[in-house]
Amino acid sequence: MRKVELSYSFGAAVSEVPRIRNPLMDLLEAVRSAGSITGAAEALGMSYRHVWGELKRWEAELGRDLIVWCKGQRAQLTPFADRLLWAERLAQARLAPQLESMHAELERALAIAFDDHAQVQTLFASHDDALSLLRGHAAATSRLHLDIQFCGSVDAISALNEGRCTVAGFHARGRAPAGSPTQKAYQPLLTPGEHKLIGFAERTQGLMVRAGNPLRLDSLGALVAREARFVNRPLGAGTRLLLDDLLLESGIPAAAITGYRNEQPSHSAVAQAIASGEADAGMGIEAAARRHGLDFVPLASEHYYLVCLRSALDERPTQLLRQVLQDESWRAMLSAIPGYKPWRSGEVLSLKQCLPWWNLPPKRATRAA
């Protein structure tokens, strides 16, 4: 079994989605995308000779062929190299929440070391592309460092109530009906007057499907009719709650969905599982689908909220966070993410106004099945 060594580096800019980079995987990705060693070298900013030499070196080290070397034809990955690349990308996608949390913790620690006046905000939140982007923007413009720990929406709010974070992030449809899985999960965790919502974004969720949508999947009913292989999110994830809401409203039992209990920890991991052929469809955000070359079928619009205790509104990090969210430069960045748009960003909102089922008796706290 090959051993793995982890490392990190300093830089003025990093990729939007943190990854542990490996030069071999970058080479293979470039060759597959460009279809030639020359094109791969240009994409990576390297010489043809260096790329060719590195590929040969890796072949010797691994004892396996990586490239189908046919003069006059497009360069292709061998079946082994293709499997290696897909396996590594799937592992990266599955580890994305942990990698982003580790990345945030390192940046927070280093920010304090370099800047005596840095402000830190600890945030547990449902996995979200916009929050990853916000972290870098807030640090660059306001010296506010968001220590983000990604987890399910239910776990994020629980962490807030237990004092493990100052702000939590979750998402829900404003029109989720009474008795829905969303109401049953969130209502016992949030108390009007004690908890305050901060507007963040409106985003679209739907079915991520293979490029070209070969199974013509346009609804949850189509998943059942065509016996599509589905990949789900874990218990406690806001996307899992949304799916269960939609299934309940459509009269579709969860057991009718092939792969309902096949779980992946993030939007990116779901998308990668579909792109690699392990599944035909999964619920997620449009940005993740586009990033992995998938098609997207919108099903629902929802609001992503940040929530804190009332007492935290007067704290300096929360004030800075609200200022960043209301800034026009941030709104422009948010609008550029596929499937996202600003929605009352940075405004303090009422639970009862945003989530109308607050006037109903609370349901017993349960997670989505």
Q: Where are the beta strands (DSSP E) in the chain?
A: 67-68, 76-77, 119-125, 144-150, 167-172, 195-209, 230-231, 281-285, 295-309, 340-342, 348-349
Q: How much is the CA Rg of the chain, to the nearest whole Å?
A: 22
Diameter of the chain measured on Cα atoms? 72
Q: DSSP readout, 159-196?
A: HHHTTS-SEEEEEE-TTPPTT-HHHHHHGGG--BTTEE
Q: Is the pLDDT of residue 117 over 80?
A: no
Confidence (pLDDT) at 327: 96
Confidence (pLDDT) at 358: 66
Confidence (pLDDT) at 35: 85
Are 205 and 340 in contact by the 8 Å Cβ rule? The answer is no
Q: Which two tokens stand for residue 262?
A: 């096949």
**Residue range 322-333: mean pLDDT, rounded:** 97
Domains of the chain: 23-94 (1.10.10.10), 167-359 (3.40.190.10)
Torsion of CA 178, 183, 187, 188, to 10 degrees: 110
Q: Is the pLDDT of residue 230 over 70?
A: yes
Are 368 and 254 in contact by the 8 Å Cβ rule? The answer is no
| pLDDT class of 215 with cuts at 50, 70, 90 | very high
| pLDDT class of 158 with cuts at 50, 70, 90 | very high
Q: Is the pLDDT of residue 197 over 90?
A: yes
Confidence (pLDDT) at 366: 43
Return left, alpha or beta for 277; rule: phi > 0 is left, psi -120 to 50 is alpha, else beta.
Answer: left
Q: Which amino acid is at 76?
A: Q
Residue 9: Cβ-neighbour burial (10 angstroms; 0-12, 13-18, 19+): exposed
Q: Which two tokens stand for residue 337?
A: 């993410």
Q: Is the pLDDT of residue 365 over 80?
A: no
Confidence (pLDDT) at 10: 63
Bridge partners (DSSP) of residue 233 are: none
| Cα 226 versus chain centre, distance | 27
| pLDDT class of 74 with cuts at 50, 70, 90 | confident
Confidence (pLDDT) at 86: 80
> Among 117-121, 141-145, 268-272, 305-309, which is the least confidently predicted range?
117-121
Q: Which two tokens stand for residue 315?
A: 């704290």
Confidence (pLDDT) at 186: 94
Percentage of the chain modeled with pLDDT above 70 = 86
Are 210 and 362 in contact by the 8 Å Cβ rule? The answer is no
What whole-number distance in Å separates Cα of residue 345 and Cα of residue 321?
10
Confidence (pLDDT) at 38: 87
Confidence (pLDDT) at 161: 97
Number of H helices, E strands in the chain: 15, 11
What whole-number distance in Å separates Cα of residue 267 and Cα of residue 239?
9
Q: Is the pLDDT of residue 12 over 60?
A: no
| pLDDT class of 93 with cuts at 50, 70, 90 | confident
SS3 44: helix
Q: Is the pLDDT of residue 19 over 60?
A: yes
- 291-327 confidence digits (pLDDT tens): 999 999 999 999 999 999 999 999 999 999 999 999 9
Confidence (pLDDT) at 95: 73
Confidence (pLDDT) at 107: 67
